[in-house]
Amino acid sequence: MHIELAAATWRAVIRGGTACLAAVLLLPAAAAGPPAISAAAAAAIGDANAQWLPAMKRGDVAAIVAPYADDALFVTARGDTIRGRAAIAELYRQRLAAIAGVVAGDLVSDGRVAATPELVYEWGHAALVVAHKDGSHSRGGGPYLTVWQRDGAGHWRIIRNVVF
C-alpha cells in the first residue's frame, strides 16, 4: 500500500513539474505576442482588398468572391449568414442586379493580427456609393471583420466575413 501511495505521489510531482516546465518554456512565446503576419499573407490580403472596389464597379461577381474559401461564411449587417462561396456569389448577383451600379467607394483595413501562421484576423471599414435605377444615389457601408486562412495550396482565403 505504501509503495502505491509513493508511486502516486511521484506521478503527481512529475505531472506538476512537467506543467511548470511547459509554462516556463511557453512564457517567452506568450510575452512575444501573436506571430507576425507573413509577407505573403500581407501581400495576398492587400491585393484582394485592392481588387474589391474595381470588381464591385464592374459588377464582376467572380472577382468579388474569388478570395472566399469554398465553405466560407458571410454574415450580413442584418445578421443573415450566407454559407459557401456559391451562395455568397448569388448574394452579390442579387444585390448588384437591384441597383444601376456601384459608382464609388473605399475599403480601409484598420488592422490585422495573426492568430497563427495560417490564420489572420483583419478589421476595417468599407463604403459604397451606388446608383439606383431611378437615378438616385445612396451611400452605405460600415465596419467589417474578416478571417483569412492559408489553404493547403498556400492561397489566402476568406473563411469568415462579418459586416456591421
Q: What is the pLDDT of residues 20-72, one digit of tens each?
A: 433 433 444 455 678 899 999 999 999 999 999 999 999 999 999 999 999 99
Q: What is the mean pLDDT of the chain?
A: 87
Report residue 66: phi and psi, to 5°: -55, -40
Is the pLDDT assigned to residue 140 strictly greater than 90? Answer: yes
Contact 50, 153 (CB under 8 A): no
Report residue 130: phi and psi, to 5°: -115, 145
For the chain, give the percent of residues with pLDDT over 90: 79
Residue given cell 465553405 in the structure block? 71
What CA–CA distance (Å, rounded) separates 64 from 49? Answer: 10
67 contacts: CB under 8 Å, gap ≥ 6: 48, 156, 157, 158
What are 79-97's pLDDT values in tens digits?
999 999 999 999 999 999 9
Closest Cα to residue 123, out of 49, 50, 64? 49
For the chain, give the percent of residues with pLDDT over 70: 80
What's the average model confidence in pLDDT over 7-17?
Answer: 43
104 contacts: CB under 8 Å, gap ≥ 6: 128, 129
Provide the pLDDT for residue 25.
37
Provide the pLDDT for residue 161.
98
Provide the pLDDT for residue 35.
87
Provide the pLDDT for residue 34.
80
Provide the pLDDT for residue 2.
45
